[in-house]
Amino acid sequence: MSASDPGLPIGILAELTHRCTLQCAYCSNPLELLKADRELGTDAWVSIFEQAADLGILQVHISGGEPTLRRDLPELVETLARRGVYSNLITAGVGVDARMVERLARAGLDHVQISFQGARPETTERIGRLRGAHEKKLAAARAVREADLPLTVNAPIHRRNIDEVELFIELALDLGAERLEIANVQYYGWALLNRAALMPPREAMERQIAVVEAARTALRGVLAIDFVAPDYYALYPKACMGGWARDAFMITPDGTAMPCHGAAAIPHLAFENAAKVPLAAIWTRSPAFEAYRGTDWMKDPCRSCERREIDFGGCRCQAMALAGDAAATDPACSLSPLHGRILALAQEEAAGDIDDVRHRRIGAAEPA
């Protein structure tokens, strides 16, 4: 993989809208959320998905915001199904009823992922700021299973719910989910704004890992548990989206195509719009996609590291945020000269006020 030979992508994260019923403080959407009048119309998304199929895309993750707020969702799912592209709906589930699930299943939806802000009703309501949200999510999950669609329970983990990891596992089992994603919050967008209220202490993180490892062993063949480790306590970073513009990318509600959901935080990059520029041209020739693709751009210690084609230097957006240089080694890596600083920052932030949060909202960040 290099800038001159990008290969073919296999996946797209399609954020159809930034609108959402919930106001979660850990949301990875940008602080400047796009209003409904900035969203692409049905025809534009259909064209993008047709181009994606032509490009060889195998799977599209339909996200937001809350994608079920789009009335054209069944039509978009049907477009993907007709072209043989696997579709995964990522939803909060609070507006999903049996009728909607049945309609999406008929349209050809392949999989549903429902996020739970807490394993307890009171936690879900406190974090998402919607009364009765937990019961609505449970009903949506049951409707998914009754429609014989595969279900993933997504549990975004942070200091406000990290003590519920065992309960999340029980919840996934009770709902008959195929997968549980224990996903420690990544600090971009609203989560970065609220980092001091969300960062868990190291001892809580270590307890969480022990619980997950034990459950993986005990539930092998029953429940697949994916674990997204917390970057700030890592020894080595994760490959950003599998590597910058290596096999996947994302598209925002207004059509902006980016290698990952946080890439807009890198100020010197300019991103093209998939409603105006052919998708194939963006993937193969966009300077922003080529900027950190492969390994040629790397500095030491990444350039000479034996892991350079495993984690591809880690997250470019995190390097930008913490090192001030998108080409720097991700400070989450123990080989980064800034690794000690990120560990100290994690410890400092984990002592912050857990209730001092700004809730996700189009137009303004609302205090708790």
Judge whether 27 is annotated as a binding position: yes
Report the candidate in 106, 9, 96 with the shortest Cα–Cα distance to residue 61. Answer: 9
Q: Cα–chain-centroid distance for residue 51?
A: 23
Report the candidate in 67, 13, 18 with the shortest Cα–Cα distance to residue 361. Answer: 18
Question: What is the C-alpha separation between 89 and 93, in angstroms, rounded?
Answer: 10
Judge whether 317 is annotated as a binding position: no
Q: Which residue has the tokens 């137009």?
A: 363
Q: Quote the Cα angle for 160-141-151, to 5°.
A: 95
Q: At what angle do helices 98-107 and 133-146 cross, to 10 degrees?
A: 40
The encoded tokens of residue 131 equal 């009364």
Q: Cα–chain-centroid distance for residue 230?
A: 14
Report the candidate in 125, 127, 131, 74 with the shortest Cα–Cα distance to residue 103. Answer: 74
Amino acid 24 reads C
Does residue 339 contact residue 233 with C-beta atoms inside 8 Å? no
Report the candidate in 168, 181, 170 with the shortest Cα–Cα distance to residue 227. Answer: 181
The encoded tokens of residue 233 equal 């306590």
Question: What is the C-alpha separation between 225 and 297, in angstroms, rounded?
Answer: 34
Amino acid 22 reads L
Q: Which residue has the tokens 């181009």?
A: 51
202's enclosing H/E stretch is helix 202-218
Does residue 237 contact residue 333 with C-beta atoms inside 8 Å? yes
The encoded tokens of residue 165 equal 């990891």
At residue 180, φ and ψ (nearest 5 deg) are -125, 130
Binding residues: 20, 24, 27
**Which residues are known binding-site members for [4Fe-4S] cluster?**
20, 24, 27
